[in-house]
Amino acid sequence: MLRVSLARVGASGRSFLRILGGSSLLLVDAFYWGVVAPLRGRGRPRRELIYAQMVSVGVRSIPIIVLVNFFVGMILAISMASLLQQLGMVSKVANVVGVAVTRELAPLMTAIISSGFVGAAMAAELGTMTVSEEVLALEASAVNPIRFLVVPRLMAVIVMLPALTVLANYSGLFGGYIVGVKLLGIGPDRYLKLTQQVINPVDIGRGLIKAVAFGTIITLVACYQGLSVKGGAEGVGRATTRSVVISIVAIIIANLFFTTLFYYTMKVPI
């Protein structure tokens, strides 16, 4: 039983590394067709495709992003209130929420939600195009699928995920504000003043850098899975599920990497 379990873990690990490797190669191709090729006069990505993806990726995600992060801010404030009350520092809830939301929770929760909301849709859409041979038709028409399908999605996500993270910051902080003022009895002016004391542009900038990295991971994994689909409709379902799972794992690993990097390079507490 133990040997079988270890074999499954090893197989899952190999599959995870293989997908990450394929996604990395896809990033190289996307960089060429999105940056290098236009500089050489080989055509730019179509703006209407990018705008359409920005609406699909960003605008339609706003309600769920705002709602989830609002409740996350409330949960964080309520969770910390009991401990801080025992220490006689209940007003410090504002500081805790301000730091946790802007540095970690807003970019991380936004990325995790997007991996299920956006990444799954991308994998399913491209997977359906692959099994229906639409991608093959593009190649037969001398249209590069990376330039036509991947680059617009990648550009849209890189632009929109940081914007969604900014909204997540506001909604998370507002959730903490509601709990602090209405339930914990902290004065509105005092709560805002305490929040402003701990929030700085460096924290927000770090969150936006993470958002760009997370968006790149979501898009590349989803596109790689979609373009690698085999096995018809059943294969599309497997690719969609695998895309979400691998994206979330990769996002958490990347978050650990960036948090550690920022800690040692910027010399500020995590």
State pLDDT tens for residues 38-56. Answer: 887 777 778 888 898 899 8
Per-chain mean pLDDT for the chain: 86
Neighbours of 141 (CB within 10 A): 8
Q: Are 167 and 64 in contact (CB under 8 A)?
A: no
Token pair, residue 111, equals: 């990325």
Question: Per-residue pLDDT for 10 more than 60?
Answer: yes
Host H or E run for residue 261: helix 232-266
Q: Are 184 and 221 in contact (CB under 8 A)?
A: no
Distance CA 120, CA 114 (A): 9
With cut-offs at 50, 70 and 90, classify the pLDDT of residue 270: very low
* Among 47-61, 187-201, 221-235, 256-270, the least confident range: 256-270
Model-wide pTM > 0.85: yes
Average pLDDT of the residues in 262-267: 76
Contacts of residue 270, defined as CB under 8 A and 6 or more positions apart, other chains included, come to: 103, 259, 262, 263
Distance CA 256, CA 97 (A): 20
In the DSSP assignment, the letter for residue 131 is H
Average pLDDT of the residues in 121-135: 88
Which amino acid makes up residue 121?
Answer: A
In the DSSP assignment, the letter for residue 1 is -
Which of 1-7's residues contact partners 24+ apart within 8 Å by CB, and which partners? none
With H, G, I as helix, E, B as strand and everything else as coil, classify residue 40. coil
Return the half-sphere exposure (C-beta side, CA atoms, 13 A cut-off) of residue 56: 18
Q: Say which residue the tokens 């999105």 belong to.
A: 34
With cut-offs at 50, 70 and 90, classify the pLDDT of residue 28: confident
In the DSSP assignment, the letter for residue 60 is G
Which amino acid makes up residue 67?
Answer: L
How high is the pLDDT of residue 7?
A: 57
Question: Per-residue pLDDT for 267 more than 60?
Answer: no
How high is the pLDDT of residue 3?
A: 58
